[in-house]
Amino acid sequence: MIRKYLTASALLALMLINTIVLIGPMLLFALLRLLLPGKRLKQSCSQAVMWIAEHWAEINKGIFALLLPTQWDIRGTEGLRRDRSYLVISNHQSWVDIPALVEALNCKVPYFKFFLKKELIWVPFLGLAFWALDYPFMKRYSKEYLARHPEKKGEDLAITRRACEKFRDLPVTITNFLEGTRFSAEKRAAQNSPYQHLLQPKAGGVAFVLAVLGEQLDALLDVTIVYPGDHTPGFWELISGQVPKVIIDIQSRPLAPELWQGDYANDPEFRQQMHQWVARLWEDKDRRIAEMR
């Protein structure tokens, strides 16, 4: 037990030092991006922010390799390029999923853009980093809330569109957890999910990203994260050295123009087509998870 606490403490201390050292330059370039005139200068500042973020992630990968016994079994990264744009979709089971994506894709594709809950902007250090990286902060409303405040309907689409417009001029990797929350057997039962290892996917976020960036995106990266065995580890188990192996399987798929040539919000037929496309991806993913486990 003492060894676990020592491992976790050393890892967190080194990650904190890495963050403190690099967040200053990152914020400086983010502020310059706001203040400097001209599109070219702003793009140069954005590239500097991304460069710092990639190296922050690479240093963290080195810390993980130094202190943790975890084997990262990464499959399917052949042919990925940093000068291309990708849409990444992934299953979501644990906070370990984020380090798994970083291990698999950092410096192989453009740095990630996540859609985050608005509350995360208040996380010390990381909230500022998320702002500097232009991560979109989403305010999610329940159906009950929207029924009482119909004026808020469509606000998530507007936020998505504004965010994606910022990504048009540089290669980008947009990352989306289609389930919207972490998997658990209880959530699966509550949803009456038809999948054995997955919650029901939500097509709206992907449809909105494709509507704005579809022509810019070069491929879909269908990522499946598997923790062998019957237990899904949490972040504490990872940083304390209790996760022996993580499998990250990446399937590169083409994106057909038909996926962004409709109106998801107002066309029921197109919306049904998107749901069917996502359902097929999820059926295949559920089968792959069963095979890999």
Kindly report the CATH number assigned to the domain that includes residue 183: 3.40.1130
In a domain? residue 46 = no
Structural domain count, the chain: 1
Residue 190 sits in which domain range?
71-292
- Res 157: pLDDT: 67
List of the chain residues with pLDDT < 70: 120-121, 125, 138-143, 145-147, 149, 151-157, 159-160
In a domain? residue 225 = yes
In a domain? residue 269 = yes
Contact 171, 82 (CB under 8 A): yes
- Res 102: pLDDT: 95
- Res 140: pLDDT: 63
- Res 199: pLDDT: 94
In a domain? residue 166 = yes
- Res 166: pLDDT: 74
Contact 104, 77 (CB under 8 A): yes
In a domain? residue 35 = no
- Res 213: pLDDT: 84
Q: Is the pTM for the entire model greater than 0.85? A: yes
In a domain? residue 15 = no
In a domain? residue 39 = no
In a domain? residue 259 = yes
